[in-house]
Amino acid sequence: MSRETKKTMAKLTQSPAGYGRFFVRALWIISGATVLIFLMFFSQGFIKLSETGQRLFTIFIYSACIGLPSILVVTYISVQFTAKFPRMIVLIQALCFLCTATVGSAAADWVLWMAGVISRAQYWMVLKQDLPFSLFISLAIGMSVATYETLRYRLHEAELALRTKQVEQERANKLLAEARLSSLESRIHPHFLFNTLNSIAALIPIDPQRAEDTVGKLASLLRFSLNAQRSGLVPLGQEIKVVRDYLEIESTRFGPRLRYEIVVPGSLDSVRVPPLALQTLVENSVKHVASRSAEGASIQIVATLRDGGGIALEVSDDGPGFSLDAITEEHGLGNLAARLELLFGDEGRLDVTRKDQRTAVCISFPVEK
C-alpha cells in the first residue's frame, strides 16, 4: 500500500474504532446486500425454497467480490476527489462501480467455478447472463451506500473541525490569559512598581497634578490588564490609550531619554485588535532599548490600513535589532505571534525588519467586519 493510500485510509478510518470498524461496516453492507438481493429473487419466484442455501452462497460470493473492492475503491476516490471535483464526483463514483462490478462478477464466477457450483463450460455463459444484472444492482445499491458514506464522512469532518476549533479557542484563551498575566506581572514587578511609585513620590512636592495623573494612569493600566482576558478583541482607540498611559508612566522615570510619537488616524479607533498586542510591542522597545541605552530610545507607533482590507500596527525604535528565530512562545512576542496565528490563521503575521538604523516590529491581520 502506497504512502498516499495509507494517508487516505487513515482519514477514512478516523472513527474511534479505526480500521476494524471500517471493515466491520463493509461486512454489514455486503451481508445486507446479499439478503436484499435474495429476497428480491425469492419474492419474484426465481428461487425455490429447496435452493435457498446454494443461492445464498452464490449471492454472497457475488456481493463480496463486487462489494468489498467497490467500497474500498469508491471510498478512496470519494475522499481524494470530492473536494476537487464536487460536480463530477457522482459520475466518477458511477464509473468506478461499473468497473468494480465487471471485475467482481468475473471474480465471483471464477470462485463459483473453483467451488464446483458451475462448470468451466458454463463460465462465460453465466458471466454474460449475470453481468447486466450485476451492473444494475451495483449502481443501485452502491450509489445509495456511497451517498450515505459521503454524508457520514462529511459529518465526521464537520465534528472534527468543530472540536479542533474548540481546542484552538481554548488555546487562544490560554495564551490571552498568559499575556494578561505577563502584562500584569510586569506592572506589579518590584522594579516597575517601585520605580513608578518613586517617580510619583518625587512629583508630589514639585508637580502634584502630574503625580495624580500618573496614579490614575497606573490604575487604568492595571485595570485593563486584569480585564483583558474577557475581551476577544478591543477597539484600537482603547489599546492606544493604554499604550499612551504606559509610555507616560515610563516617561516619569526616563524623562527626555524616552521619546515617542504615535501616528494613528482617528478613523481607525473603532478597528478591533487583540488586547495588549500593540502594548506588547511598545513594552518590548522600552524594556530592551530605552532601559539599556544611555541615550534612551526614540519610539514611533504607526497604524495603517492595507490594500487587502487588513491593518498593520508597527512599533519602531533606534535599538540594535533582534531576530524572531530567537524568540520562544514564553516570550511576550512569541506569545503574541501564537495568538495572532490562532485568531487569524495565516493572515495574522508578526515581522521584524531593519531599515535606516531602526528596528520595526509589525503585526498585521484582517480587519473584523
| Longest alpha-carbon distance in the chain | 116
Q: What share of the chain has pLDDT > 70, as a percent?
A: 80
Other beta carbons less than 10 A from residue 169's beta carbon: 13
Q: Would you state the cell numbers that stand for residue 127, as one nine-digit string?
A: 458471466
> Given pLDDT bands bounded at 50, 70 and 90, which one contains residue 14?
very low
Which carries the bigger pLDDT value, residue 291 or residue 144? 291
The 3-state secondary structure of 70-124 reads: HHHHHHHHHHHHCCCCCCCHHHHHHHHHHHHHHHHHHHHHHHHHHCCCCCCCCHH
Backbone angles phi, psi at 276, to 5 degrees: 70, 10
Q: What is the pLDDT of residues 261-289, one digit of tens each?
A: 999 999 999 999 988 889 889 988 888 88
**Which residues fall within 8 angstroms of residue 83, CB to CB, at 6 or more apart?**
none
Distance CA 11, CA 157 (A): 9
Backbone angles phi, psi at 349, to 5 degrees: -130, 150
What's at 170, amino acid-wise?
E
Query: Is a pLDDT exceeding 60 seen at residue 12?
Result: no
Query: Is a pLDDT exceeding 70 seen at residue 16?
Result: no
Predicted confidence at residue 280, as pLDDT, reads: 85
Q: What is the pLDDT of residues 77-120, one digit of tens each?
A: 777 777 777 778 778 888 888 888 888 888 888 888 888 888 88
Which carries the bigger pLDDT value, residue 300 or residue 48? 300
Q: Would you state the cell numbers that stand for residue 192, as one nine-digit string?
A: 516597575
Q: Would you state the cell numbers that stand for residue 354, as one nine-digit string?
A: 531593519
**Which residues fall within 8 angstroms of residue 1, CB to CB, at 6 or more apart?**
9
Count of alpha carbons within 13 Å of 186, Cβ hemisphere only? 19
Predicted confidence at residue 259, as pLDDT, reads: 93
Is the CATH number of domain 189-366 3.30.565.10?
Answer: yes
Q: What is the pLDDT of residues 304-326, one digit of tens each?
A: 998 878 999 999 999 888 877 76
Which carries the bigger pLDDT value, residue 210 or residue 360? 360
Query: Is a pLDDT exceeding 90 seen at residue 134?
Result: no
Q: Would you state the cell numbers that stand for residue 187, as one nine-digit string?
A: 506592572
Residues forming a β-bridge with 273: 234
Predicted confidence at residue 315, as pLDDT, reads: 94
Q: What angle do CA 364, 365, 369 make, to 5 degrees?
A: 140
Q: What angle do CA 115, 117, 119 make, to 5 degrees?
A: 95
> Given pLDDT bands bounded at 50, 70 and 90, which one contains residue 361?
very high
Q: Do 318 and 297 touch, CB atoms closer than 8 A?
A: yes
The domain ranges of the chain are 3-166, 189-366
Predicted confidence at residue 299, as pLDDT, reads: 93
